[in-house]
Amino acid sequence: MRNLIIGATLALVAPGAVLAQPTTVADSAKGKILTTAQGMALYTFSKDSTDHSACDGGCASLWPPLKATPTDQASGTFSIFKRADGTLQWAHQGSPLYTFSKDTKPNQVTGDGFNNVWHVARPAGDN
């Protein structure tokens, strides 16, 4: 019966839609953090506003946005917004999410505190 309910629920979802959160929670030297599915630390930028990125051009090369696709669906504390360049980006609690190009391995958090404006993203309730 459980499989039937799960199957029926999935049948109601648009094909290709991603319902899972775009991140995972991992332990790091800075405590629990949000990471990509590949384990790379995610960051927020103090100069951003709710669902709006102030990081583009060279900034976005150093701090790549966590991109969303048109079929992704926001849920819970995660949202998706359109960047100035037209691409879609994930946000957590309204804060746009980024990786740091200088992090070279999973759970590395070398960008935390960078210029006092970049901060590791934390799970809801751990801020």
pTM of the model: 0.83
Mean pLDDT of 96-121: 97
Q: Is the pLDDT of residue 8 over 80?
A: no
Work out the pLDDT band at 39, boundaries 50, 70, 90.
very high
Q: Is the pLDDT of residue 12 over 50?
A: no
Enumerate the domain spans of the chain: 16-120
Cα-Cα-Cα-Cα dihedral sign, residues 43, 49, 55, 60: positive
Q: List all residues 6 or more positions away from 32 whose beta carbon is below 8 Å from its beta carbon.
A: 25, 26, 122, 123, 126
| Residue 40 or 9, more confident | 40
Region of 98 (left: φ > 0; alpha: ψ -120 to 50; beta: rest) is beta
Which of 49, 66, 36, 43 lies closest to 115 in space, CA to CA?
43
Mean pLDDT of 53-71: 97
